[in-house]
A = this chain, B = another copy of it.
Amino acid sequence: MSKITPRTLSGFMELLPAPQQQMERFLQVLRETYALFGFTPLDTPLVESADILLAKGGGETEKQIYRFQKGDADLALRFDLTVPLAKYVALHAGELSFPFRRFQIGKVYRGERAQRGRFREFYQADIDVIGDGKLDVANEAEIPAVIYSTFTRLGLEKFRIRVNNRKILNGFYAILGLTDRSGEIMRTVDKLEKIGADKVRELLTGELGIDSGAADEILRFIAITGTNAEVLTALESWRGRNERFDLGLDELATVVKYLAAFGVPETHFAVDLTIARGLDYYTGTVYETVMLDHPEIGSICSGGRYDNLAEYYTDRQLPGVGISIGVTRLFYVLQEQGLLNPDLPTAPADVLILPMTQDLTAAATAATFLRGQGIRTQIYTEARKMKAKMGYADKLGIPYAAFLGEDEIAAGQITVKDMQTGEQITSGLEEAAARIRAGLAAKNEGRLILG
């Protein structure tokens, strides 16, 4: 028979078992942390009507979307989790309780040009809080706590959450009489870190045609740094000149005020007036998160406050605040940088039972007992040399091998070898299980992300 060469599409991540176990840990931490903050899991279809997904339209989206016909239906794969959320909330609003807090971790699809580290199928992990008509700024204050907990639980230490408020920016540009230009200005200012202040000034006065006095004030404004208190104090000097600015400053002060109570240390949080987030629809607090030792990765968790989630589907005003982690790309980068802890177990089993008799009854009994104790157990079933069996355990990184020979069976015992230390102990099953469980707890203690 002629064969079809097996292959996986470029841009589609397909992991070997060991890294897949790391990915599972990653996703499990996200699920648990998001749930701790009272977000409910959602799971919407990966396929939707194309008109639903493309309601907003827009160039990149239309180009990148996977769209296809099936019968009469014009379908597409979702390209993010926000549009399906908007549809979900608009469709089910009558059955939901507001504020509606949901998380969703799922794959999305973008037919981008294939490129190293760019994925066409990738996981996003989103949380959003949606209000009905209004939503208190306290929700914006809580988001840094979710980000901080998430990355801390993943093991990451050196990161910082950067926060700004779009009302402050918009208000500031209104003060300068540049309201109409604020969008372009913000997109330019957003490049500060990449291209430097001089180049930003050049773009402002050149391409954008801003007069040089205003450009200077913009640069002075975005150069405000210091502790959160210092930045807030500096911003106070503009108070009273624009309502929106004042409101934004109040909101920012509220976010900063609750940080400590929400358990976010100042070391991991910075008000940063340069960030705006590209998307037009943010209207209040905006967030970015950077790894301090790897700024080149860019933001690993971003989001913000918006005023109208589902305007394409309903007249109901649904303000919200949300953040998103691009899981697949982050995982890929962590892997590339060697930042995934190699010491955490990635084996399919905790114990590999090696039967040394033809009859497997004792092995099955032991496996059933260990599984009942929560220990992931495999029986090595194939008739091969002991060396090959041990090689199997070794290659998979299974932490314990358990031998069941005639002597052990007769004595109702089992010999368990710690594959790392080589220590080998013969004991009853209960004692063995307790020892294995304690050993596993220690082995699983480490952080997933080093850095």
Contacts and interface: CB of A to CB of B under 8 A. Distances in A.
A9 B313 contact: no
A101 interface: yes
Given A4-B52, A9-B47, A313-B4, A40 B17 contact: yes
Nearest to A4: B55
A298 interface: no
A355 to B, nearest CB: 9
Contacts of A149: 371
Contact of A379 (B3, B142, B312): B142
A40 B361 CA distance: 24
B365 A9 contact: no
B364 A131 contact: no
Interface string A300-328: 00000000001111110000000000000
Interface in A53-75: 55, 66-71, 73, 75
A177 interface: no
Interface residues of A, number: 107
A75 B382 contact: no
A38 interface: yes
Contact of A376 (B38, B67, B381): B38
Nearest to A369: B263
Nearest to A263: B368
B37 A377 contact: yes
Contact of A40 (B20, B121, B310, B381): B20
A195 interface: no
A342 interface: no
A155 interface: no
B66 A41 contact: no
A107 B3 CA distance: 27
B315 A3 contact: yes
Contacts of A75: 9, 66
A6 interface: yes
A28 to B, nearest CB: 9
Interface string A1-18: 101111111001111110
A339 B315 CA distance: 38
Contacts of A99: 381-382
A383 interface: yes
Contacts of A145: 364, 368
Copies per complex?
2
A349 B99 CA distance: 13
Contacts of A142: 364, 379, 381
A357 interface: no
A46 B121 contact: yes
Nearest to A1: B311
B20 A43 contact: yes
Given A17-B96, A99-B382, A360-B258, A91 B6 contact: yes
Given A12-B47, A136-B382, A136-B383, A349 B258 contact: no
A287 interface: no
Contacts of A47: 9, 12, 66, 77, 109, 121
**Which 4 pairs from chain A and chain B are nearest by CB?**
A38-B378, A68-B68, A40-B348, A261-B364
17 contacts: A1-B311, A4-B52, A7-B49, A8-B44, A12-B45, A14-B88, A20-B43, A24-B41, A36-B375, A38-B349, A38-B378, A68-B69, A97-B396, A134-B382, A145-B364, A261-B361, A263-B368
